């Protein structure tokens, strides 16, 4: 009689475990299907290029009245080293412009007059940055100095310039923007007592 109970218990265990496997298999299939639906088809390989450019983005901006400006990039300093810069300009209600250099707890802020935005627009026009509007093309795995750079400039008219591309640490537009912003911030040695 004992062997019969043993066989009966063994059959019940096998039956229950097969039921559990079937329900888990269905769940696993649903998870795998959801994963396949959300995965991008673009490879994120070293040297792989991600291109999500909007070819229909306007390449000419009529407005000259900047309301906000954000950019980040790596630029080659005069000493030959590479520095990461993040700059922000935001027009205030009173017409003044709040500038930010850096990010997070290392950010520095200063308020300047509205003529700053005129100078900034002159740089945008000089380098025809509106022609890059809609470009999003970056290569993964590049060295620090060639990492992605980004620019977003919004105008009172609702127009905007937005692009992200591989950086060029010797770019003239980056140099002009760096010079314009850093001229408004005191040098590190000027703030030390």
**pLDDT reported for residue 15:** 56
pLDDT at 106: 87
The whole-number average pLDDT for the span 11-38 is 55
pLDDT of residue 25: 55
Task: Identify the band that residue 125 occupies on the pLDDT scale cut at 50, 70 and 90.
Answer: very high
User: Looking up tokens 């070293």, which residue turns up?
Assistant: 46
- Please compute the mean of the pLDDT values over residues 110-131 and round it to a whole number: 98
State the pLDDT at residue 1. Answer: 59
What's residue 108's pLDDT?
95
Q: What pLDDT, on the 0 to 100 scale, is given for residue 131?
A: 97
Among the listed residues 99, 74, 32, the one whose alpha carbon sits nearest the alpha carbon of residue 166: 74
Q: What share of the chain is helix, strand, coil (3-state, %, to 5)?
A: 40, 25, 35
Question: Taking 50 as the threshold, does the pLDDT of residue 81 lie above it?
Answer: yes
Banded pLDDT at 31 (limits 50, 70, 90): low
pLDDT at 160 over 70: yes
Please, are residues 162 and 134 in contact by the beta-carbon 8 Å criterion?
yes
- Does the pLDDT of residue 135 top 50, yes or no? yes
Report the pLDDT averaged over residues 176-182: 97
C-alpha 139/C-alpha 189 separation (Å) is 37
Residue 192: is its pLDDT beyond 90? no
What is the overall mean pLDDT for the chain? 84
Check whether 128 has a pLDDT greater than 70: yes
Rounded to whole angstroms, the Cα distance separating 23 from 30 reads 11
Residue 33's Cβ-count burial label (10 Å; 0-12, 13-18, 19+) is exposed
pTM above 0.75, yes or no: no
Name 2's Cβ contacts closer than 8 Å, sequence gap at least 6. Answer: none
**43-57, 74-88, 142-156, 162-176: range with lowest mean pLDDT:** 43-57
What percentage of residues in the chain have a pLDDT greater than 70?
73
What pLDDT, on the 0 to 100 scale, is given for residue 79? 84
């Amino acid at each position: 009689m004992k062997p019969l109970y043993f066989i009966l218990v063994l059959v019940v265990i096998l039956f229950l475990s097969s039921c559990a496997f079937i329900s888990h298999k269905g769940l696993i299939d649903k998870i795998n299907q959801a994963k396949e639906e959300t995965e991008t088809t673009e490879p994120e390989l070293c040297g792989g290029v991600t291109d999500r450019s909007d070819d229909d983005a306007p390449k000419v901006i009529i407005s000259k009245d900047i309301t906000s400006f954000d950019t980040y990039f790596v630029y080659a300093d005069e000493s030959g080293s590479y520095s990461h810069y993040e700059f922000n300009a935001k027009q205030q209600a009173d017409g003044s412009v709040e500038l930010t250099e850096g990010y997070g707890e290392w950010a520095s802020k200063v308020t300047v007059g509205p003529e700053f935005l005129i100078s900034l627009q002159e740089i945008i026009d000089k380098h025809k940055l509106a022609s890059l509007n809609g470009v999003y093309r970056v290569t993964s795995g590049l060295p620090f100095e060639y990492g992605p750079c980004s620019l977003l400039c919004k105008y009172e008219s609702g127009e905007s310039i937005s692009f992200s591309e591989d950086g060029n640490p010797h770019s003239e537009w980056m140099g002009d923007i760096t010079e314009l912003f850093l001229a408004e911030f005191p040098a590190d040695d000027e703030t030390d007592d």
